[in-house]
Amino acid sequence: MNKSLTKNALLVSIKTIFSLIMPLITFPYITRTLQVNAIGQYNFALSIVSYFVIFAELGITTYAIREGAKIREDKERFTNFANEIISINIISTLIAYISLFIIVISFEKFSNYYLLIMILSIQILLATFSKSWIYNIYEEFGIITIAQIISQLIYVCCLLTFIKTPKDIYIY
């Protein structure tokens, strides 16, 4: 499976450039629409959830890419390896969700942000079931790049369609 290094580097560069440009387009609209208070609430809730996303991932993706690349040609070994990685991911996600729930109900400060934190906690689940590491192992950067660009374009369309007032924070 020799993939072109130039092609892969170009695709990763396109993905990175797109990831840098999108906030330049969306951030001014969001800050103007949601305003300071809603943005502050969102960012606070997001910062809490981000710690649990990191906890749920446990560096598993990096490990999976490194070790999976070594055995990608052996289909049976790779299948077993992928199943193990998915199992570990599911267990770490369950622990992260339980921990998040306990912390949110234990501290009064978080009670005001409960709904927002729970909505944003979907990111934990999405990170767990993202299988982009498999595409990385098989050097399918075209699929990764196209998927990211399409998802970002859908995000912008939905953002411009559904986010109109500060009350739309939960939709955002």
**What would the mean pLDDT of 30-35 be, rounded to a whole number?**
94
Q: Which residues contact residue 109 at a Cβ distance below 8 angstroms, ignoring those fewer than 6 apart?
A: none
Q: How far apart are the C-alpha atoms of 106 and 94, rounded to whole Å?
A: 18
Q: Sorting pLDDT into bands at 50, 70 and 90, what band is 111? A: confident
Half-sphere exposure of 109 (CA within 13 A, CB side): 5
- Give CA angle at 74 (71, 75), nearest 5°: 115
Per the prediction, the chain carries an average pLDDT of 91
Q: Dump pLDDT digits (tens) for 70-90.
A: 999 999 999 999 999 999 999
Q: How far apart are the C-alpha atoms of 93 and 75, rounded to whole Å?
A: 26
**What would the mean pLDDT of 103-122 be, rounded to a whole number?**
92
Number of H helices, E strands in the chain: 8, 0
Q: How far apart are the C-alpha atoms of 154 and 94, rounded to whole Å?
A: 29
> What's the confidence (pLDDT) of residue 46?
96
Q: How far apart are the C-alpha atoms of 145 and 71, rounded to whole Å?
A: 24
Q: Give how far the C-alpha of residue 41 lies from the chain's centroid of Cα atoms, to the nearest Å.
A: 20
Residue whose C-alpha is closest to residue 33's, from 120, 163, 158: 163
Q: Sorting pLDDT into bands at 50, 70 and 90, what band is 116? A: very high
Q: How far apart are the C-alpha atoms of 13 and 126, rounded to whole Å?
A: 24
Q: Sorting pLDDT into bands at 50, 70 and 90, what band is 20? A: very high
pLDDT for 2 beyond 80 = no
> What's the confidence (pLDDT) of residue 94?
96
> What's the confidence (pLDDT) of residue 28?
93
> What's the confidence (pLDDT) of residue 164?
94
> What's the confidence (pLDDT) of residue 4?
80
**What would the mean pLDDT of 108-113 be, rounded to a whole number?**
88
Q: Dump pLDDT digits (tens) for 124-149.
A: 999 888 888 998 899 888 888 999 99
